């Protein structure tokens, strides 16, 4: 059995603001994307325009998360 | 076959387009090709830009480029599409993105290529960090 953790990733300017590219948080007490953010950043306030993805699909902050999920946070995209 | 390519080194979009089209299985069937090439400018927001670092989210970027390619193919009657996008360090005049769409008639190719570019810019996870002469800065939003 794998550990009951959620993988967190931060990209671009948000990675620099948070000060880490990746983190793991315990599933216990974390049931939404917002709670995963709070756990990984020690309750840093989330910038208003932050985008979120669970398992590489866009979601909002209230989306459910579970052990084994990959949750990503990043600023507005600027490709092309 | 809706090919997606992420390149971490400079590429020649017109050569890539030619190579792709030569090997395509729709030769003789298409009447229209719509092509968009986006390149790096040497200025942005009133400042000279010396270099740029393009970051992406490996896995999700490809997934969304595939997703928008499938959406375009379901919305318009097209034969194929190709998206090539740079990541890594680049310099002014370097090509950033190539989007090409093939169809029987021009309207579908024009509309689908426009759709691919607009959706890429608003949904595909890429981020640009510019190097000016005295500092670096993240581009905060797409225009």
Residue B139 lies in a domain: no
Residue B24 lies in a domain: no
* Burial zone of B61 (CB within 10 Å; 0-12 exposed, 13-18 middle, 19+ buried): buried
Instruction: Quote the minimal CA–CA distance from A72 to chain B in Å.
Output: 9
Residue A19 lies in a domain: yes
Terminal C-alpha separation, chain B: 30
Tell me, what CATH number does B115's domain have? Answer: 3.90.1170.40
Residues of A engaging B, defined by a Cβ cutoff of 8 Å: 9, 11-13, 51, 53, 56-58, 72, 74-80
CB < 8 Å to B124, chain A:
77, 79-80
pLDDT attached to residue B88: 98
With a cut of 70, list the residues of chain B below it in pLDDT: none
| Whether B129 contacts B90, CB under 8 Å | no
pLDDT band of residue A2 (cuts 50, 70, 90) is low
Instruction: Quote the minimal CA–CA distance from B28 to chain A in Å.
Output: 30
CA distances from B95 to A10, A48, B98 (A): 27, 32, 8
Residues 6 or more apart in contact with residue A43 via CB below 8 angstroms: none
Residue B59 lies in a domain: yes
Domain boundaries, position A11: 5-74
pLDDT band of residue A3 (cuts 50, 70, 90) is low
Residue A79 lies in a domain: no
pLDDT attached to residue A67: 97
Which residue among B60, B126, B127 sits closest to A56, beta carbon to beta carbon? B60
Chain A residue whose CA is closest to B95: A80
CA distances from B123 to A15, B2, B67 (A): 19, 18, 10
Q: pTM for the whole thing?
A: 0.95
Give how many domains chain A has, as a whole number.
1
Tell me, what CATH number does A54's domain have? Answer: 3.10.20.30
Beta bridge partners of B98: B37, B84
As a whole number of angstroms, the distance between CA B99 and CA B108 comes to 14
Alpha helical stretches, state H, chain B:
13-23, 60-75, 106-123
**How large is the ipTM?**
0.95
Residue B111 lies in a domain: yes
pLDDT in tens, A6-36: 999 999 999 999 999 999 999 999 999 999 9
Cross-chain Cβ contact B142/A75 below 8 Å? no
Domain boundaries, position B83: 3-19+30-132
Residue A66 lies in a domain: yes
| Whether B118 contacts B43, CB under 8 Å | no
Residue A12 lies in a domain: yes
pLDDT attached to residue B1: 82
Give how many domains chain B has, as a whole number.
1
Residue A34 lies in a domain: yes
| Whether B94 contacts B111, CB under 8 Å | no
Residue A80 lies in a domain: no
Residue B55 lies in a domain: yes
pLDDT attached to residue B91: 98
pLDDT attached to residue A71: 98
């Amino acid at each position: 059995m794998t550990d009951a953790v959620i993988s967190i990733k931060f990209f671009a300017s948000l990675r620099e603001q948070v000060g880490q590219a990746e983190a793991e948080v315990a599933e216990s007490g974390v049931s939404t994307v917002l709670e995963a953010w709070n756990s990984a950043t020690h309750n840093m306030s989330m910038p208003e325009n932050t985008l979120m993805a669970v398992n590489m699909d866009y979601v909002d902050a209230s989306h459910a998360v579970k052990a084994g999920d990959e949750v990503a946070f990043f600023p507005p995209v600027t490709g092309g | 076959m809706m090919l997606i390519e992420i390149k971490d080194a400079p590429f020649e979009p017109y050569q890539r387009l030619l190579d792709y089209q030569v090997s395509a299985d729709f030769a003789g069937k298409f009447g229209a090709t719509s092509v968009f090439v986006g390149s790096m400018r040497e200025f942005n927001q009133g400042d000279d830009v010396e270099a740029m670092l393009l970051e992406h989210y490996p896995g999700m970027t490809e997934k969304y480029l595939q997703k928008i390619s499938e959406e375009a193919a379901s919305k318009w009657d097209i034969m194929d599409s190709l998206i090539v996008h740079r990541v890594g360090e680049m310099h002014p005049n370097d090509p950033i993105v190539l989007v090409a769409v093939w169809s029987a008639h021009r309207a579908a190719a024009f509309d689908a290529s426009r759709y691919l570019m607009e959706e890429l810019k608003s949904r595909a996870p890429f981020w640009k960090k510019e190097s000016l002469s005295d500092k670096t800065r993240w581009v905060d939003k797409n225009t």
